[in-house]
Amino acid sequence: MIRLDLSTTPRWLDLGHGLRLQVLPVTTAIMVAARNDPDVEALPKNASQEQMAVVMAKAVARRVVTDWEGVGDANGKPVPVTPEGIDALLDIWPIFETFQTRCLAPHLMLDAEKNVSSPLPNGTSAGAKAIARPAKARAKAARHG
């Protein structure tokens, strides 16, 4: 079952380590915009899945992160949210992994589920004849056959 959350209100996402991100819902419009991000489009054709995942996550994050808590400069002074800051934050492996898991994965899992193919009535098995018979029918055929 798909549960529709029609709220467009940002929510706080706890990433651990004292870090919280305020994020907008990941919508179709956000994903389309991220796919058209210059950094995504600049990926080479032979980019690895890992490279694509990082660049795409950063593109989405730049669009959905509206505020944060627990992010500071080298002296610990809080810094404002900027596209460069978001990219730098996602360059920290545990933060990237948690962002992927808690913000993006629910949407990507749903996307992957829709790619599953169901059997088609006109596929390769459509013309196959049923050769299995119930045990009683086999026994009856054996007695009379």
Reply yes or no on whether the pLDDT at 88 is more than 90.
yes
136 assigned to some structural domain: no
54 assigned to some structural domain: yes
- pLDDT tens digit sequence for 22-35: 999 999 999 999 99
71 assigned to some structural domain: yes
65 assigned to some structural domain: yes
Q: Is 59 exposed, middle or buried (0-12, 13-18, 19+ CB in 10 A)?
A: buried
Helix and strand totals (H; E) in the chain: 7, 3
Mean pLDDT of 85-101: 95
What single letter denotes the amino acid at residue 21?
L
Q: Which stretch of 6-20, 41-55, 85-99, 102-116 has the lowest confidence by average pLDDT?
A: 102-116
87 assigned to some structural domain: yes
For residue 40, give its domain range: 11-113
- pLDDT tens digit sequence for 96-139: 999 999 988 876 654 444 444 444 444 444 444 445 555 555 55
Say how many domains are in the chain: 1
Average pLDDT, the chain: 82
What single letter denotes the amino acid at residue 124?
T
Polymer length in residues for the chain: 145
Measured between alpha carbons, how far is 60 from 31 in angstroms, rounded to an integer? Answer: 7
